Structure 1
Amino acid sequence: MFSRPSLPSTTAGDVADDAYLLDVREDDEWQAGHAPGAVHVPMMLIPQRIDDIPADRDVVVVCRVGGRSAQVVAFLQQNGRERAINLEGGMQSWAAAGKPMVSGDGGVPRVI
């Protein structure tokens, strides 16, 4: 009946090594495993930190499976960040694609 406008998205395999990767997961998820070079801003802090997010380049937003990041992409686009892109499948697809990960807790990087 009502459809949500489609958001731009990309797959883990298509994310450039030098992409601005914005990880919006919670602290424990970030500590367990994240992409090297990613920037961590938990979803609920995005409104306060929007000025820290570039408007002049692609920003690939990631969460665990893609739901929270889709909400953040919609928010960013509504607030002038038109180059925000959702990572389909989130960190689960990132890990499944064999993309590099690091942990912040000293353990083997993992997606929780």
Structure 2
Amino acid sequence: MSETPLISVADLPDDAVLVDVREDDEWVAGHAPHAIHVPMGTVPDNLDALPDADEPVPVICRSGGRSHRVVQWLVHQGFDVVNVDGGMRAWAGAGKEMTSENGSEPTVI
């Protein structure tokens, strides 16, 4: 398979619609405000949750490993997706907006 497409956090707008493939506890702790939560193990059953976009859809996890595998699989299925290099750690490290589901200070776990 060809190289997995990558995008850096710096190349994403703050209001980017991302597909976040992390687990529920990671999502609750902190995520990008416009992200769509589709845990990695549920992606094949939730393809209709992926946003319809004119540009490649960014896929994100904590550091880029899980999203890399999801992007490889989705590309093979014909989806126009791209892996977010460095994941949510890079997103948070760049000072981009985050939100939590439990009212606490958003964090990447």
Name the residue aligned to 2:74: 76
DSSP-derived class of the 2:18 partner: strand
**TM-score normalised to the size of structure 1?**
0.90
DSSP-derived class of the 2:46 partner: helix
Which 5+ residue runs of structure 1 have no aligned equivalent?
A: none
Work out the percentage of aligned pairs sharing the same amino acid: 50
- d(CA) in 2 for partners of 1:56 and 1:98? 25
DSSP-derived class of the 1:60 partner: strand
Kindly tell me the number of residue pairs found equivalent between the two proteins: 108
DSSP-derived class of the 1:85 partner: strand
CA deviations 1:31-81 (Å, max 9, x no partner) are 000000100000000000112224543210000000000001011111110
Q: Cα RMSD (Å) of the superposition?
A: 1.4
- d(CA) in 2 for partners of 1:56 and 1:102? 23
Q: 1:107 to 1:54 in 2, by over 3 A?
A: closer
- d(CA) in 1 for partners of 2:53 and 2:18? 14
CA contact (8 A) 1:65 1:89 kept: yes
CA contact (8 A) 1:55 1:80 kept: no
- d(CA) in 2 for partners of 1:31 and 1:41? 13
Larger radius of gyration: 1
